[in-house]
Amino acid sequence: MSVSDPLLKDIKGCVQQFFKISTENTQISDNNPSFVLLGTSLEKIFDKGLIAQQNTLYFNRTIDPYSWMSSLVKAKSDIVTLTYKNCVDNVRERCDTPNNTARFRLLVKYCLMKHCLHVPVEFLIRTGRAHLFYNTNSIIGDEILSEIFLSVLLQISKTDFALDLKHSSFLDCTWYLPYMVQVELVPCKYLGLSVSFAGNRAVIVHVAPDSVIAENGSIKIGDVLDKLNDVHITPSLKGRLSATLRSKKGEPVQITVAKAYNQETKEFFVPIKSLLKELRMDCALVVKQYEEERGEEILPKTACSGYDVKYLGVVDVGSVGNVKQVEKAVTRMSATPPVEDDASVTKANKLVTFEFGEIGIKVKEVKTSEVLMEHSYMQISSCGSTARFPKNFGYCASTVNCDVASHFVCYVFQAASAEDTDNILLAISQGFGRTHYAV
């Protein structure tokens, strides 16, 4: 095998760039091109020739670079320093690294900051255990190339890095770090933002006007909610974000977001841009927020589609807003002869357009184009129709998100046909499928 390898040349080139940067008194940060190249090259070297399938006497196991690197904390050897063990422990304690790819990258960053990345490679070479994890066609498994690689890592250990170790939620897909914003807000029960989950991340899809978030101005639609009160946001918290907010009642609210768009560089963070496309959000409208005076709210909407229906009226259904209440309200509003006067029933009989948006529905009067009602899918608790009145339908909603609401009303409509009713209810149910969770 040749005593040279393109990957070794790449990291040697990075070392030269680091030396040049150090003479200019410039920090080597996460998004420095040379650091990203170094991280990418190191990852390829640690992956190259890895014997992933490990056979033991009783079972087979699959390993990756992070697995064997983290297992060295159990080794009884002076080569494995306390500093290296602390780096591994710090990574193990993190809950914002979803897989071993992210953990490997974070461990590399910790080791670079603590000048100990050479430790795991030196351990394999000096103890003669490299062959247990790497074949001879690899850099680490080759007797000569592994020594060259170790010498380069020892050079890198003399370099001072200024890396962000606090934020790692996107390390599973890139070495680049998004622009992170941390804000502290006054104690409150309602922040005024809604999120939708895509790719296991919470994308902000709505910011309520005059809310605490809107007043702050630094958090925009399209940003990713990373942490709330020091709790890393994952899909497991769907529907429980409000509880997370209330967990520190009376204390300032701590929020960390990853910015979708960097106003200084005029660029999107690529992984977040992919999430926006997955949610069918208009990236142009995300950018436009920064061009509006005082950060006025721009909602990322897709083209709305709608049906012309008759708005029959609204029924106050009290503290319960389930499907049974919808059926009762539709029956009461549709019955012939009509129900007797009741304070809980308000009749309308207006021709309206029932529109569907990305985050909710909107009902406009046909004659005046006045918006009669507008509800996000989070405010809608149920919808339905009845077999007795197949063209009529309704939905229950509240003025706040239904998971915290204590009072509901049911809006009742009449479509042109039973088929239209089915399509409308299907569209609302699809909205539930991409529910936006509010905080």
Residue at which a domain ends, from 261, 295, 329: 295
Categorize the per-residue pLDDT at 57 as very low, low, confident or very high, splitting at 50, 70 and 90. low
Residue-wise pLDDT for 11-39, tens only, equals: 999 999 998 888 887 889 999 999 999 99
Give pTM, 2 decimals.
Answer: 0.69
Please indicate, yes or no, whether residues 273 and 310 belong to a single structural domain of this protein.
no
Give the pLDDT confidence score for residue 306 in this predicted structure. 80
Tell me the CATH number at 282.
Answer: 2.30.42.10
Residue-wise pLDDT for 170-205, tens only, equals: 999 999 999 999 998 888 878 888 999 998 899 999
- For the chain, give the secondary structure using H, E and C: CCCCCHHHHHHHHHHHHHHHHHHCCCCCCCCCHHHHHHHHHHHHHHHCCECCEEECCCCEEECCHHHHHHHHHHCCCCCCCHHHHHHHHHHHCCCCCCCHHHHHHHHHHHHHHCCCCHHHHHHHHHCCCHHHHECCCCCCCCHHHHHHHHHHHHHHCCCCCCCCCCCCCCCCCCCCCCCEEEEEECCCCCCCEEEEEECCEEEEEEECCCCHHHHHCCCCCCCEEEEECCEECCHHHCCCHHHHHHCCCCCCEEEEEECCEECCCCEECHHHHHHHHHCCCCHHHHHHHHHCHHHCCCCCCCCCEEEEEEEEEEEEEECCCCHHHHHHHHHHHHCCCCCCCCCCEEEEEEEEEEEECCCEEEEEECCCCCEEEEEECCCEEEEEECCCCCCEEEEEECCCCCCCCCCEEEEEEECCCHHHHHHHHHHHHHHHHCCCEEC
Residue 344 forms part of a structural domain: yes
Please indicate, yes or no, whether residues 315 and 288 belong to a single structural domain of this protein.
no
Please indicate, yes or no, whether residues 333 and 415 belong to a single structural domain of this protein.
yes
Q: Report which of residues 2 and 99 the model is more confident about.
A: 99
Tell me the CATH number at 55.
Answer: 1.20.58.900
Please indicate, yes or no, whether residues 47 and 119 belong to a single structural domain of this protein.
yes
Q: State the residue range of the domain holding 268.
A: 180-295
The number of distinct structural domains making up the chain is: 3
Please indicate, yes or no, whether residues 279 and 332 belong to a single structural domain of this protein.
no
Residue-wise pLDDT for 356-395, tens only, equals: 876 789 999 999 989 999 998 888 999 999 999 999 999 9
Give the pLDDT confidence score for residue 436 in this predicted structure. 56
Residue 206 forms part of a structural domain: yes
Categorize the per-residue pLDDT at 341 as very low, low, confident or very high, splitting at 50, 70 and 90. low
Please indicate, yes or no, whether residues 310 and 393 belong to a single structural domain of this protein.
yes
pLDDT at 139 over 90: yes
Residue-wise pLDDT for 290-331, tens only, equals: 876 444 433 333 334 589 999 999 999 999 999 999 999 999
